[in-house]
Amino acid sequence: MQETRETWQSNIGFLMAAIGSAIGLGNIWRFSYMAHEHGGGAFLVPYLTALLVAGIPIMLLEYGIGHREKASSPLALARIHRRFEGLGWWMPVVAMFGIMLYYSVIIGWCANYLVYSFTLAWGDNPQDFFFNHFLQLSESAAAWGGIRPSILLATALVWLACWLICFRDIRHGIEKAAKLFMPLLLILTAIMVVWTFTLEGAREGIFNHYLNPDWSKINFLSADPEARVAAGRVWAAAFGQIFFTLSLGFGIMITYASYLPAKANLARNAVITATANCAYSIFAGLAVFGIVGFMAHSQGVGFAEAIKGGPQLAFVVYPQAISLLPDFNALFGVLFFLVLVIAGLTSGVSLIEAFSCALTDKFDWPRKRVVSVLCLLGLLGSLIFTTRAGLYLLDITDHFITSYGLVLGGLLQCLIVGWFIGPEKLRRHISRLGSRVPTAWNLFIRYLTPLALGILLLMALYGDLTANYSGYATRHLLLYGLGWLLCCLAVAIVLSRKPWRAAKLKRRHRPGEDELLV
Ligand code: TRP
């Protein structure tokens, strides 16, 4: 296929935006504690399976829907059939009010750590520093214990940055920043990975705990019922992580693909985005397991006892690594956290973009006002996660929103394409634009992927009903987990109530490409 320069340029822009959305805190912060919690090597097998069974097929599906309907997720799904619009709202609502609210706070943590890096303020016990000095963590999710001013300040700055970028529409700037900072992130991570290999005990952590799958931990057909439930949880967490890290089920990829020119190689883009993102996570994991191995070695304890698992892991392990570097520690730390802040912002901005596009598509409100109101609401909603109980609250919300909210969004999209539109139509649409999608994709979207996601949802549910997630009190799980999901559902229903102007629901054909649209 002869591609003109112009198309190629916009394709790169799209790819950068899509990768910028995918690569974020999920790759460093979330991946590391998920992998650590679920036994390292035992996590990688379900993770890669999830990438193949759900990640790549659904990414293709979202690109396909967005490109075919040329609309944000609610409008795209409403164009397929009016009754699917609710799902089109559910996805960005869950992402905005379920994820972005705490995600912005974690970007704020990174901003704080950027400042701490100048003096390596965490000293020689980063774990103690994080819990007791930085978060001043309360005893339980019930004790909010007031707002932490430094976290609030940083979170407010994060929302301000999101607002500035979206309001002034300097997405070009973000694209340029992504082009500069993504490679920088990779280089900094590579330095850390190489360096950790020289530390004592690191190889043990990497080769015995990370690159060495423990099949018994992932055998969900095990004869022992307890092992079965535990394995189910590992699988559910791996699938959840794939959705989170690839920004699937957020409505983001649909919106981004809708901005593409008529001819764009969707299949190739999907494979590149997914592979680049996951390869990066797995690579960064080497540093995490290396450092934990080193910590175990230097404390003379087993790998599992070396560090307390949970959402704080990256904020203990990476500072530790930064302190251990032979030279330029402060410079390195500042750069590392700066890049993390930027990676987080490119992800956050992609969502505000998708959500405001959805609102303007439907209500014709002025874009700038929508962005301002969204960012203000976002900041207000984030406040709860800046309290001294923030870590508990975001852990609970994140668990429920990701394993149920995002996965459900993916499952329903498969059912709509698989059984309503018919995957063959979408497959042909995508294939005609560039690289061919194998026919097996139809089988995935129709049977395999929804079946796998359905079973996973059940396994996650079964796990959560058998034992409270991370030992939190039942009422907190109901309030911040289930309650949060139900609120998102209510918002999605309200937003989808209002009727559309009929003209909008008609697909706008681009001149000269009618034959592409089925
Ligand atoms: N994929 C991102 C990551 O791995 C997560 C993400 C994408 C996100 N878009 C977002 C989080 C919007 C919050 C809001 O970090």
Cα–ligand 1 centroid distance for 241 (angstroms): 11
User: Cα separation of 54 and 214, whole Å?
Assistant: 23
* Least confident stretch, 72-86, 194-208, 251-265, 364-378: 251-265
> How is 68-87 classified by DSSP, letter by letter?
HHTS-HHHHHHHH-GGGHHH
> In the structure, which protein residues have their CB atom closer than 6 angstroms to any atom of ligand 1?
21-22, 24-27, 95, 99-100, 103, 244-245, 247, 250, 252, 347-348, 350-351
Q: Single out the residue of 325, 280, 248 nearest to residue 64, CA to CA.
A: 248
Q: Is the pLDDT of residue 513 over 50?
A: no
Hey, which residues does 420 pair with through a beta bridge?
none
Per DSSP, the residues of 382-428 read HGGGGBTTHHHHHHHHHHHIIIIIIHHHHHHHHHIIIIII-HHHHHH
Q: How confident is the model at residue 182 (pLDDT cuts 50, 70, 90)?
A: confident
Q: What are phi and psi of 147, to 5 degrees?
A: -90, 145
Residue 9 has pLDDT above 60, yes or no: no
End-to-end CA distance of the chain: 21
72 with 89: CB under 8 angstroms?
Answer: no
Q: What's the gap in Å between 141 CA and the centre of ligand 1?
A: 24
Name the closest-CA residue to atom 6, ligand 1.
347
Cα of 348 to ligand 1 centre, how many Å?
A: 6
**How far is ligand 1, taken at its centre, from the CA of residue 250, in Å?**
9
Which of 381 and 505 is assigned the larger pLDDT?
Answer: 381
Instruction: Region of 310 please: left (phi>0), alpha (psi -120 to 50) or beta.
Output: left
What does the radius of gyration of the chain's CA atoms come to, in whole angstroms?
22
Distance of CA 102 from the midpoint of ligand 1 (Å): 11
What percent of the chain has a predicted confidence (pLDDT) above 90?
Answer: 68
* Dist. CA 19–CA 247, nearest whole Å: 10
Could you tell me the pTM of the whole model? 0.93
Mutate to test the pocket of ligand 1, among 174, 246, 347 (most ligand atoms within 8 A of CB): 347
Average pLDDT over all residues of the chain: 90
Q: Which residue has the tokens 């990066």?
A: 280
pLDDT at residue 136, rounded to an integer: 95
Which residues, in sequence order, are CB contacts of 373 under 8 Å at separation 6+? none
Q: Of all atoms in ligand 1, which is nearest to the CA of residue 252?
A: 9
Among left, alpha and beta (phi > 0; psi -120 to 50; other), residue 505 is alpha
Ranking 3-7, 304-308, 334-338, 408-412 by mean pLDDT, the lowest is 3-7
Q: Which two tokens stand for residue 436?
A: 């061919």
What CA–CA distance (Å, rounded) separates 469 from 472?
6
Out of 21, 110, 155, 349, give the residue to mutate to test ligand 1, the one with the largest number of ligand atoms within 8 Å of its CB: 21
Q: 247: CA distance to ligand 1 center in Å?
A: 6
Token reading at 320? 């530790």
CB-CB neighbours of 6 under 10 Å: 9
Q: How are the residues of the chain apportioned to helix, strand and coil, as percentages rounded to the nearest 5?
A: 80, 0, 20
Tokens read off for 489 = 């559902």
Question: What's the confidence (pLDDT) of residue 149?
Answer: 96
DSSP reduced 3-state for 111: helix
Most confident by average pLDDT, 119-133, 157-171, 220-234: 119-133
Q: Which of 79, 395, 114, 427 is nearest to 237 (CA)?
A: 395
Q: Which amino acid would we find at residue 472? A: Y
Closest residue by Cα to atom 8, ligand 1, is 347
Q: Is-contact 283 293, C-beta < 8 A?
A: no
Q: What gap in Å lies between CA 73 and CA 63, rounded to an integer?
A: 11
* Ligand 1 atom at minimal distance to the Cα of residue 31: 4
**Whether the predicted pLDDT of 346 surpasses 60:** yes
pLDDT of 508 reads: 59
CB atoms within 10 A of CB 31: 26
State the closest ligand 1 atom to the C-alpha of 25, by its place in the atom list counted from 1.
Answer: 15
- How much of the chain, in percent, has pLDDT values that exceed 70? 94
AA letter at 399: H
- What's the token pair of residue 120? 């390596």
The 10s digit of each residue's pLDDT in 427-477 is: 999 999 889 999 999 999 999 999 999 999 999 999 999 899 989 999 999
Distances (CA, A) of 392 to 68, 206, 383, 483: 41, 29, 14, 15
CA separation for the pair 477, 464 (Å, rounded): 10
Distance CA(83)–CA(23), nearest Å, equals 33
pLDDT at 256 over 50: yes
Q: Which of 351, 385, 398, 402, when mutated, tests ligand 1's pocket best, judged by the most ligand atoms within 8 Å of its CB? A: 351
Nearest to 244 by CA among 68, 102, 130: 102
The pLDDT, as a whole number, for residue 171 is 60
Which of 247, 273, 281, 397 to mutate to test ligand 1, by most ligand atoms within 8 A of the CB atom?
247
Name the pLDDT band for 112 (thresholds 50, 70, 90). Answer: very high
Cα separation values, 13 from 153, 178, 245, 368, Å: 32, 10, 20, 23
pLDDT at 333 (0 to 100): 92
Query: Is 450 within 8 Å of 414 (Cβ atoms)?
Result: yes
Whose Cα sits closest to atom 12 in ligand 1?
348
User: Tokens standing for 361?
Assistant: 């598509």
C-alpha angle 4/7/8, rounded to 5°? Answer: 85
pLDDT band for 172, please (50, 70, 90 cuts): low
Indicate the SS3 state at residue 138: coil
Q: How big is the CA angle at 381 (ends 478 and 335), to the nearest 5 degrees?
A: 110
Q: Please state whether 247 falls in left (phi above 0), alpha (psi between -120 and 50) or beta.
A: left
- Nearest CA to 387 out of 160, 139, 113, 94 is that of 139
> What pLDDT, on the 0 to 100 scale, is given for residue 40?
87
Distance 384 CA to ligand 1 centre (A): 19
Better-scored residue on pLDDT, 305 or 518: 305
